Amino acid sequence: MDIRDDRPHLSNILATALNAADEFLEPLDQRPAALRPSSPEPMALPEEGCGGRGAIELFRRRFEAGLSGSSGPRYLGFVTGGSTPAALAGDWLAAAYDQNLSNDGDSIATTVERETIQLLRSLFGLGDDFEGVFVSGATQANTVALATARQWAAERLGVDVAQDGLWTLPSIPVLGGTPHASILKAVSILGMGRGCVEHMACLPGRQAVDPQALAARLEALDGAPAIVIASAGEVNTGDFDDLVALGELCRRHGAWLHVDGAFGLFAACDPDKADLLRGLDAADSVATDGHKWLNVPYDSGIVFTRHLEHQEAVFKAVAAYLGAGPDLLHRTPENSRRFRALPAWMTLMAYGRSGYRELVSRCCRLASRLGDGITASEHYELLAPVHLDIVCFALREADGEGERDVERRDRVIRRDRVINRLLDDGRVYLTPTVFDGRPGLRAAFVNWRTGDEDIEVILEALDAAVG
C-alpha cells in the first residue's frame, strides 16, 4: 500500500501500540521471566502491506506469546535492567521526534544530550573534565575508550594511529585482573588483538587485581605505554578493583586507567556503597550502561573521557557537508545518532537523585537477602561474598567433592538441570557461570520492579529446581 495512506491513521496506530504495550506491561510480573518458544513459519515479504495497525496485530498474533518477561522483576540473568515509566515514554518520544544528534545547529536535541551528560556526571560524582557522550551500550563505550587510549599510547610511541594505523607499532599491553568479555571484543575490533590483554593476578579470594602484581608488570614495562583496565563491578561477583591504588600506579608509570563501570558506577548513588568508587577521578576514561541500572530501554551506554582531543582524532568524520565544530558525531563510531539521551533525561528528571539512591540501595539489599537465603539453604552455597547487587552461588557439595574430572562434568550437568527447570518453571531466570573452576549460577539485581516479595519467590523456585 501507499505509505501516505496511513497518515490519517497515525493516532489510531499509536493508540493500538499503546494498547499493545499496556497489555504486555500490566501483567508483566506474571509473564514467564524467560522462555524457549518454537519459531513460527517465516513469512514472505508481502507485495501489498497490511498497514500500521494490521502490522501491529499481525506481530502480536505471531510473536507476542514468545516474548520474555526480561524487563520484569525476576529476570536476574546477565545484568538486565527494565525500563522505568518515564524512560519508556522518553524512548517513544525519541522515535516520535526522530532527531539526528550528529551535528549542532539544526535542533536543540544535542543540547539535551549535553545536559543529560551533565546530570549523569553529577549522579556519578564525576568532575567536569570528563567529557561524555552516548553510545549503544557499555561494549561500545569500552571500545570508544580503548580506541582513545590506543591513540594516546601510540602517540607516545611517535605514531598517529588514526592516520597511519598500527602497522609499525609493537603490541600495546592491556592489563587487568578481571576484564569483561567486551574488553577482549574491543581490542579485537581495534586491531590491537585479544592477545594484548594480560590477566594480572587477583587478591586471594577476590575478583580484584593484586596491585603488587600490577606494579611489577608496569615496572617491567620500563615506561612503555600501557592501558590498565579496572573493573568497577566485576560481572560474576560485583567485586571492585581498588581504584585509588590503580590510579596511583598508573600515574607513577604513565599508564592509562580505564574504568569499566557498566553497572557498578551506580554504586555512586548509594552512600553505603559509594566508597567502592573512591579514586574514580583518577581515571582517564570511564564506561557505563544506561540499559542496566539506569533502567532505560536497550541501546544506551555512556563513555566519559578526559582526552577529547585523542577521542576526536579517532572518530572525526571529515567531509565538506559535515560540520567541523565540536559536534557529537566526532566523538563516536556513528555519524547519524539516535536521540538516546532523551529516555535517560526523562528518567533522571522524573525520579531524581533520591529515586536512584533508593533503587540502588534496594537492589543491594535484595542481593544481600538472597545471599542470606542461599547461605541458609540446604541445597545451595555462595561462591563469593555479595559485594553489591550480584549473587554468585552453586549447588552445595560435600567436602572433597569435585576433585575428579567425572565429578566436574557431573557438576555442570546438575547445574544445567537447575537452569532448565527454572526455565520450565518460569518464575525466575538466572544465567550460568563458572567461578574459580566451579560451575555456578548468578543473580543480578538492577530492575526497578524487583521488591522484597520477590526474594521468597526466587528462593522457592530455586528449591523446586533441585530434586
Ligand X SMILES: *Cc1c(COP(=O)(O)O)cnc(C)c1O
Pick from 301, 373, 439, 440 the residue near ligand X by CB under 6 A. 301
Tell me whether residue 91 or residue 260 sits nearer to ligand X (CB atom).
Answer: 260
Binding range to ligand X, per CB under 6 A, among 164-172, 260-268, 332-340, 447-455: 260-268
Among 86, 101, 109, 138, binds ligand X (CB under 6 A): 138
Q: Which of 395, 134, 125 is nearest to 266 (CA)?
A: 125
Smallest distance, ligand X to C-beta of residue 67, A: 19
Q: Which is nearer to ligand X, 103 or 143 (CB)?
A: 143
Q: Give the angle 111-343-313 at the CA atoms, nearest 5°.
A: 50
Question: How many binding residues for ligand X (CB under 6 A)?
Answer: 13
CB of 291 to ligand X, least distance (A): 6
Instruction: Work out whether 139 is an interface residue with ligand X (CB under 6 A).
Output: yes
Angle at 143 between CA 445 and CA 231, to 5 degrees: 45
- The three-state secondary structure class of 451 is coil
Q: Is 297 in the site for ligand X (CB under 6 A)?
A: no
Written as nine digits, the cell of 80 is 538486565
C-alpha cell at 138: 557499555
Helices 452-464 and 341-376, interaxial angle, to 10°?
Answer: 50
Contact flags string 39-78 toward ligand X, x per CB under 6 A: ----------------------------------------
Structure letter (DSSP) for residue 429: B
| Minimum separation from the CB atom of position 295 to ligand X (A) | 13
Considering only the stretches 22-30, 203-211, 239-247, 259-267, report the one whose residues sit in contact with ligand X under the rule CB under 6 A: 259-267
Q: Which of 121, 150, 180, 427 binds ligand X (CB under 6 A)?
A: 180
CA distance 243 to 124: 15
If one asks whether residue 263 binds ligand X (CB under 6 A), the answer comes out as yes
92 Cβ contact partners less than 8 Å away, ≥ 6 residues apart = none
Q: By CB under 6 A, is residue 411 in contact with ligand X?
A: no
CA distance 186 to 184: 5
Minimum Å distance from CB 309 to ligand X?
25
For ligand X, the binding residues in 190-249 under the rule CB under 6 A are 233, 235
Please choose, out of 55-63, 132-140, 251-259, 405-413, the segment that lies near ligand X by the rule CB under 6 A. Answer: 132-140
Cell of 337: 545518532
Q: Which span (126-134, 158-166, 255-263, 269-277) binds ligand X, by CB under 6 A?
A: 255-263
Q: Does residue 293 sit in helix, strand or coil?
A: coil
Can residue 332 be called a binding residue for ligand X (CB under 6 A)? no
Q: How far is the CB of 431 from ligand X (least distance, A)?
A: 12
Nearer to ligand X among residue 86 and residue 145 (C-beta): 145
Give the 3-state secondary structure of residue 406.
helix
Q: Nearest 5°: phi and psi at 170?
A: -70, 165
- Residue whose CB is less far from ligand X, 16 or 237: 237
Which range, of 135-143, 200-208, 278-286, 424-432, touches ligand X by CB under 6 A? 135-143
Exposed/middle/buried for residue 270 (C-beta within 10 Å: 0-12, 13-18, 19+): buried
Does 179 participate in binding ligand X (rule CB under 6 A)? no
Handedness of CA 378, 434, 141, 319 (dihedral sign): negative
Interface with ligand X, residue 289, by CB under 6 A: yes
182 near ligand X, judged by CB under 6 A: yes
Least Cβ distance, residue 262 to ligand X (angstroms) = 3
- C-alpha span between 250 and 175 (Å, rounded): 11
Task: Name the grid cell of 167.
Answer: 602497522
CB neighbours of 328 closer than 8 A, spacing ≥ 6? 101, 102, 103, 104, 110, 113, 133, 337
Q: Which of residues 78-97 bind ligand X (CB under 6 A)?
A: 79
Going by their DSSP bridges, the two strands 431-435 and 438-444 should be labelled as antiparallel
Do the beta carbons of residue 176 and residue 231 sit within 8 Å?
A: yes
Question: How many helices and strands in the chain, by DSSP H and E?
Answer: 13, 11
Q: How far is the CB of 100 from ligand X (least distance, A)?
A: 23
**Contact between 388 and ligand X per CB under 6 A:** no
Residues that bind ligand X in the complex, under the rule CB under 6 A? 79, 137-139, 180, 182, 233, 235, 260, 262-263, 289, 301
